[in-house]
Structure 1
């Protein structure tokens, strides 16, 4: 089901901060070339993200949102161009430019964008979809001017820095991204194939956002530059800035850096182009998967069409969780391991998609599943729409919108999207109205209009050699792609736009004084039943988030029954003695609350998110889940069977194979060597009685940890927690040792994955256990320049210089019992041996020669300026407080760590590097095509040992 972005609210949120009249009053900035458009203020009873909107004379739209709750800013630049504005035969350009925009510009050096943002203590990224490309940074507030300088330089001064060499390296990076995310992933080509069949040839949604590699192989750098000149003008962009800002100062900076950038060509809104089908189109493909899959896609409308909202409600009824019809008819009775419905919408078109994966024990093929899905649609027609269907959707809308306001990034991205696609940042209330006004009749109308009796693309994905499982013989073949001739764009064809300035853009703006960041104030208490509580108040949104950690994790179980805690978590998410699983899900949905129980190594985790007005009702349901699980045999059988199928299916994923083999090799024969989710063998050993016995033994409150972030004051939180008073008892204490294994080091363990498009690499060893301010933390600092940041040595080498991978990294990971140093990447299959050579070179060079002075400064700045981002959202606060409770820390540990960062010397770091980065103490795991890789790896001089899991 769609994640709602626009829910119903009945009053102004705390984030609005004030209650004033809304109006388009004139703003008195008096900055030449800056045109005031409107100011939208908070209003009681209305849902508003307050902002001011301006335009520059060159057409750039500027939206500013003030939020002084944290000393940080979020800068988003959205260009109204995605893959939907590419030309036939020139796919992938929009996504390609997302990569090129990080490769330096006229005044920003190669890789310097990453370095400057990271060194400022910030985070950043860029994303591309069919309709827009955006670039964003979250940084401490004193770094705003530097971010505007960076964004302006790549908007107005990029092309001279785009070289053929950079083009070719990033082309390889994009190929690696496609390999990792699509070609080497089970079912990875599903959406690409469906789009080819759904849309007519030449439709801008008929090709994937990442593009076809043959298109990128055929064009040259000037074709890309022409695309930039067409779409990346300021008049096709919106810059949205939110956080701790001064409006007048910020607009002066925007004018300074962006005002002189010339307009680009005029851009019109694209024409809506929903697909139309005159008959069902059956297509299929074989893939390296364990389970077959059927996917039915109906064309519908376009985003914000009047029928989008009722279609979303319909998708919820048919396939939105345990209360849905597909769940009842396919998953609950073990005919399918998974079934869902979605209604994704884009600017030009939307689709209504139904998906299912049959369970092997059911004996059903995809034709059988299609029949059940079509019968379910008939069942809906008879059932109709119930009151709870609408209540749940509107509650989900409200909750998701409020959660989206918990970060300044969430608010900025909402404003930016609304402006880009509607021209109105304050489109929230229109969106709210169209969902709030959905009626039962609307839902039935759209069902009859777009689904009943209509045609779809029906895609079958089956394991290799299993074509007998497809739903129906293919009756559609997409027309052959029209391929243009050789690129005709030359440098002489490009009409460059140059800005004229009265200042020197080559000077990097200095950051202002770093604003103090206060550690959240907190209070601590132990409940009468032994639960340790650590809580803080956060008043930005009317929400309560909790993390309950019960000492009942994976490490408490026997290795022969690995996966037991995962099955227990699944059962606690099922029926209670008072409610069926469907009834429980229905009640939580109507509250707009989420409760998710999951296993980890040491804990059974209960994650709770609720609107504060519903927290008492939500915790009553949590308490019921914990104290009164029904443990129904049929539910256990279904969850166990699904878990076994998941374990088998995981073996189709190279990353899973690599991580699992790596863990097995670096642990002795104990529970830590096995995945938390279990294996096919260990799961088969587990009975419902095993789960019940473990529950009775271990799911107890004594020594559990409860972390709370709420807008409630302490007394109100304490009253809320009284719901747990009847829960009593103490589980067994954890007694485990994880000795180092006698596994042979200095060799390569090769796990076969036939015809893998990429190879997964893990290089490492057992290392330090976790500490907060000791050698483990200091080793984290040591590794930062080697593999702990985007512009680390390893990533720059393998990704940016060589184009072998989409990303490479190294780092230390640990708990109280064991730790690892690991370097990892998923690399092009044909560059596996070369990638290992580069990994070894970088690790050995760093161990031998140590850190540079520049890297030491970079590390200090990057880590010590991150504080503004550590505590912003409830989720971030939960993680911070959980660390304090787990290690019994004083909040002053933050200052102690900052002092370590500031004072650690190059000599100390180099000593740690020599100690912990000895390659002779490490092993390597490689997952890929054994026939091809084994001779190549042996040619490097390594002993290569075949390994299977």
Structure 2
């Protein structure tokens, strides 16, 4: 129920706050009963800025989002990628915020931040302890009203390079990365706002200049084209007082109108194809035009996508994947502000042509028409959607993001309940109606993504040519723009002080030990009516450590535990779970087998019955085994097409050796998985379950006394000893060497640099302190490595380093994707930074930054149920004292420069690092040979290409 308050023009909302009387309350929404609603108050300032405030004092956290109604859809032909490029520029300082200080200020405040751009909007957001709200508003207002004088040609060039690297990392250097670009070019007519990707074209990025950037800011970044949404531990009165102070004087920008809807019309089946340098398997996509977002058919299209191609009950899974005709097959409905797409995608098994997939897809749709839509289809769709909405309300950031999007695109922040009504009202007839309206007998775009040498597998010859005739560019309104700054009665150059420190409470928890060896820990969380439950049994991939001949057995075994049981098929379990809005999954880590459950409280009993079925009554049949085994074997080939995956796999082999369990993928190898039989799966299960050492973590809207009886079925676990093997010691690194894997024509070089340490996980010892030491080297955006390689040199989209550790081992690793041409230079800079840190130590300013950043982030650590589960699960897993966070805070407060410097000298060993570079040998080897390191060439399996090497 929405209570809406409208005010007469000129009416004052608040009195008693200087400069506050001009903010107009548009509406106020309150929650009544058990309705699904996000309460808020909505205001508008005279300059057009829309302000939404959601008050929630459950955690001492505030999330702030500024959404500008501008994305790549408002770009000009020939200047693609500019909206996203501009997003990067917004972090480069303004009149009162120095270069590289935006990230530093937020991070030092204990917060997190980012920005994102899509076709239709750009948003900037921060989550911070609630005493930092004023500072965040000051930051956002400064770049909204005071950006352009701080823009320099140098900053412009650096961020242009960074965006190019982002494109290389996410589009040009990954399998199927260009698929979306091919779809956009061939699906939409020339000049359509969606006919290019948000990331843009490299040649367009090279074409734009600083003046283009300034005009873009002046045209689209006015307060009247923005929605400022604040949620969390704040009152509307205080929020509006601060918003009026920092944003109220910013001049209104040019008028911005909503764009007309532009759904394309396909006059015939279109065919397009391209050769993918990184793909190992061909990919077929079929795309149909549908409707824009919030259209009345939105829910029915989403249900159609689920019935046709999502989950193991879907038509495509049953017709193509389960019959082993396709490796993957799915369907999706994606709606944006101006148009929508319904998409099918199919990856065939090796040797199958994409043309055959075209016909198999048509046959599957024919079978769907005979099958129709069932009552079960509708029930599980509605149950899943309700659960999805509820889970999205766990965090204040989730609620704020919803409010901001609803206001930006629907003009109504209170769309949550409306959408739920629409989705709950979907009928079988609705789903068949949209199938007939948008899919059956309709023209589609058919795209073939083809690996090298497999061009013969094409679906159809390219038959579409982009027609530029008749296109007339719209008037974007760039003429006569003027930069007018706000005039204030206060000094904006002064960074606002922190508010009073919020009281951060570590989640209260309870513990229970059962006589059979099961340990249970739980925390009550009443914010939303859900329960998260995990059951961890000792075991995992480490059980294979002493015999790698069938490595991957545990992984394949847990995968098989998600299949049929003795009483239900996997499809029947999936239908029940989706109808309940629940999930039950089985997977393994290095040293555990984990059963993970999520459920609404009202459906917990029924969900736990299905968990019990999965745990105690799996039915391992040959067909499921053959299909899953075949998919694992094909996944090895697929991973060999991804430079980042190659780097991770080979680096593990270099660090630990091929005969070490940590030098072997948890999925095994092609040889070891080929050797696994169905009998091995049954033997794995027969020896996998025990009650001894089992750890159960429960978080949710349920009390200890209510949940413990529901877990009584765990008493059926056998009380037997399962001993996780002690791992062999990793080989020592005698000197720094470069290992090189050749990926021809790779746009970037994947760096993996580091070594295996003796630092096992601890919460308050040297491992924890080493993490503090690394923070300013490579653990934060403003770390030395990231500032050098990304912000100063523009060679990478991101660079990072860190220590990781478990109960038996640990390592230090630097990783980044570096522009290929800068590989040798980046290697020099990397070693310079690490050696400089070892020899010169941390600065006083860096020490203060680290203490503030880590010391103040506790407010963000316990907000959601998953976060609470992680916290108390850590206590149980590592037998930590309940006050370990308090002990950590004491360490942070008291650690000295001398201690940090000593840790750097002890644990950073640049003369004894393994260095792995995965990239284009022809481009990078000549430069690397000048650096003086021994270079050993490996193949993508980690085998020496030459006789020398390890």
Looking at structure 2, the residues matched to 550 and 295 of structure 1 have their Cα atoms a distance apart, in angstroms, of 41
Looking at structure 2, the residues matched to 681 and 855 of structure 1 have their Cα atoms a distance apart, in angstroms, of 49
Alignment equivalent of 2:421, drawn from 428, 433, 455: 433
Question: Deviation per CA, 1:678-729, whole angstroms, max 9, x where unpaired?
Answer: 2222211222222221211122232111111011111111122123232333
Q: CA deviation at 1:662?
A: 1.2
2:820–2:923: 8 Å Cα contact kept in structure 1?
Answer: no
2:534–2:696: 8 Å Cα contact kept in structure 1?
Answer: yes
- Counterpart of 1:510 in structure 2 is 497
Looking at structure 2, the residues matched to 853 and 526 of structure 1 have their Cα atoms a distance apart, in angstroms, of 47
- Counterpart of 1:895 in structure 2 is 886
Looking at structure 1, the residues matched to 13 and 487 of structure 2 have their Cα atoms a distance apart, in angstroms, of 27
Q: CA deviation at 1:506?
A: 0.4
Matched, 1:113 2:98: no
Looking at structure 1, the residues matched to 802 and 507 of structure 2 have their Cα atoms a distance apart, in angstroms, of 28
Matched, 1:884 2:875: yes
Alignment equivalent of 2:282, drawn from 292, 299, 303: 292
Looking at structure 2, the residues matched to 910 and 213 of structure 1 have their Cα atoms a distance apart, in angstroms, of 42
* Structure 1 residues 204 and 895, CA gap change in structure 2 (3 angstroms): same
1:795–1:807: 8 Å Cα contact kept in structure 2?
Answer: yes
1:648–1:680: 8 Å Cα contact kept in structure 2?
Answer: no
3-state secondary structure, aligned to 1:846: helix
Looking at structure 1, the residues matched to 721 and 172 of structure 2 have their Cα atoms a distance apart, in angstroms, of 46
3-state secondary structure, aligned to 2:716: coil
Looking at structure 2, the residues matched to 25 and 305 of structure 1 have their Cα atoms a distance apart, in angstroms, of 27
1:405–1:541: 8 Å Cα contact kept in structure 2?
Answer: yes
- Counterpart of 2:513 in structure 1 is 526
- Counterpart of 2:485 in structure 1 is 498
Q: CA deviation at 1:489?
A: 13
Alignment equivalent of 1:538, drawn from 525, 533, 554: 525
- Counterpart of 1:14 in structure 2 is none
Alignment equivalent of 2:24, drawn from 35, 43, 49: 35
Q: Which moved more, 1:672-681 or 1:501-510?
A: 672-681
Aligned residues: 925
Looking at structure 2, the residues matched to 333 and 529 of structure 1 have their Cα atoms a distance apart, in angstroms, of 43
3-state secondary structure, aligned to 1:640: helix
Alignment equivalent of 2:917, drawn from 907, 919, 926: 926
Matched, 1:48 2:37: yes
Structure 1: runs of 5 or more not aligned:
1-19
Matched, 1:64 2:45: no
- Counterpart of 2:159 in structure 1 is 170
- Counterpart of 1:82 in structure 2 is 71
- 5 Å-filtered alignment, 1:146-165, equals 146-165=135-154
Alignment equivalent of 2:452, drawn from 464, 476, 492: 464
Looking at structure 2, the residues matched to 738 and 227 of structure 1 have their Cα atoms a distance apart, in angstroms, of 58
- Counterpart of 1:872 in structure 2 is 863
Matched, 1:307 2:292: no
- Counterpart of 2:654 in structure 1 is 665
Question: Deviation per CA, 1:178-214, whole angstroms, max 9, x where unpaired?
Answer: 0000100100011110111100000000000111111
Alignment equivalent of 1:417, drawn from 381, 384, 405: 405
Looking at structure 2, the residues matched to 687 and 938 of structure 1 have their Cα atoms a distance apart, in angstroms, of 47
Looking at structure 2, the residues matched to 636 and 230 of structure 1 have their Cα atoms a distance apart, in angstroms, of 59
Matched, 1:740 2:725: no
- Counterpart of 1:935 in structure 2 is 926
- Counterpart of 1:10 in structure 2 is none
2:612–2:713: 8 Å Cα contact kept in structure 1?
Answer: yes
Q: CA deviation at 1:738?
A: 3.0
- 5 Å-filtered alignment, 1:460-859, equals 460-479=448-467, 494-557=481-544, 558-668=547-657, 669-742=659-732, 745-767=735-757, 768-859=759-850
- Counterpart of 1:399 in structure 2 is 387
Alignment equivalent of 2:171, drawn from 182, 185, 191: 182
Q: Which moved more, 1:815-824 or 1:348-357?
A: 815-824
Looking at structure 2, the residues matched to 738 and 345 of structure 1 have their Cα atoms a distance apart, in angstroms, of 52
Q: Which moved more, 1:586-595 or 1:536-545?
A: 586-595
2:660–2:728: 8 Å Cα contact kept in structure 1?
Answer: yes
Q: Which moved more, 1:475-484 or 1:275-284?
A: 475-484
Looking at structure 1, the residues matched to 452 and 469 of structure 2 have their Cα atoms a distance apart, in angstroms, of 25
Question: Deviation per CA, 1:779-819, whole angstroms, max 9, x where unpaired?
Answer: 00000000000000000000000000000011101111111
Alignment equivalent of 1:227, drawn from 216, 231, 241: 216
Question: Deviation per CA, 1:409-448, whole angstroms, max 9, x where unpaired?
Answer: 1111111111111111112222122212212111111111
Looking at structure 1, the residues matched to 125 and 381 of structure 2 have their Cα atoms a distance apart, in angstroms, of 30
- Give TM-score, length-normalised by structure 1: 0.96
Q: CA deviation at 1:560?
A: 2.4
1:519–1:891: 8 Å Cα contact kept in structure 2?
Answer: no
3-state secondary structure, aligned to 2:335: coil
- Counterpart of 1:7 in structure 2 is none
Question: Deviation per CA, 1:130-182, whole angstroms, max 9, x where unpaired?
Answer: 11111110000000000000000011111111111111100000000000001
Looking at structure 1, the residues matched to 527 and 780 of structure 2 have their Cα atoms a distance apart, in angstroms, of 31
Q: CA deviation at 1:509?
A: 0.2
Write out the 4+ residue segments of structure 1 that deviate beyond 4 Å after TM superposition.
25-28, 479-485
2:69–2:226: 8 Å Cα contact kept in structure 1?
Answer: yes
3-state secondary structure, aligned to 1:459: strand
2:744–2:919: 8 Å Cα contact kept in structure 1?
Answer: yes
Question: Deviation per CA, 1:585-617, whole angstroms, max 9, x where unpaired?
Answer: 111111111122222111122221111111111
Structure 2: runs of 5 or more not aligned:
942-950
Q: CA deviation at 1:553?
A: 0.6
- Counterpart of 1:3 in structure 2 is none
Looking at structure 2, the residues matched to 482 and 147 of structure 1 have their Cα atoms a distance apart, in angstroms, of 47
Q: Which moved more, 1:468-477 or 1:443-452?
A: 468-477
2:804–2:810: 8 Å Cα contact kept in structure 1?
Answer: yes
- Give TM-score, length-normalised by structure 2: 0.95
Looking at structure 2, the residues matched to 483 and 836 of structure 1 have their Cα atoms a distance apart, in angstroms, of 48
Question: Deviation per CA, 1:297-353, whole angstroms, max 9, x where unpaired?
Answer: 001111111112111111111001000000001110111111110001100011000
Looking at structure 2, the residues matched to 157 and 564 of structure 1 have their Cα atoms a distance apart, in angstroms, of 59
* Structure 1 residues 861 and 545, CA gap change in structure 2 (3 angstroms): same
- 5 Å-filtered alignment, 1:182-201, equals 182-201=171-190
- Counterpart of 1:446 in structure 2 is 434
Looking at structure 2, the residues matched to 421 and 482 of structure 1 have their Cα atoms a distance apart, in angstroms, of 30
Looking at structure 2, the residues matched to 393 and 355 of structure 1 have their Cα atoms a distance apart, in angstroms, of 21
Question: Deviation per CA, 1:456-487, whole angstroms, max 9, x where unpaired?
Answer: 111111110111111122222335799999xx
Looking at structure 2, the residues matched to 755 and 562 of structure 1 have their Cα atoms a distance apart, in angstroms, of 33
Looking at structure 2, the residues matched to 493 and 163 of structure 1 have their Cα atoms a distance apart, in angstroms, of 22
Looking at structure 2, the residues matched to 305 and 446 of structure 1 have their Cα atoms a distance apart, in angstroms, of 12
Q: CA deviation at 1:24?
A: 2.0
Looking at structure 1, the residues matched to 73 and 549 of structure 2 have their Cα atoms a distance apart, in angstroms, of 52
3-state secondary structure, aligned to 1:143: helix
Q: CA deviation at 1:730?
A: 2.5
Q: CA deviation at 1:267?
A: 0.9
1:644–1:683: 8 Å Cα contact kept in structure 2?
Answer: yes
Matched, 1:318 2:304: no
- 5 Å-filtered alignment, 1:92-107, equals 92-107=81-96
1:697–1:731: 8 Å Cα contact kept in structure 2?
Answer: no
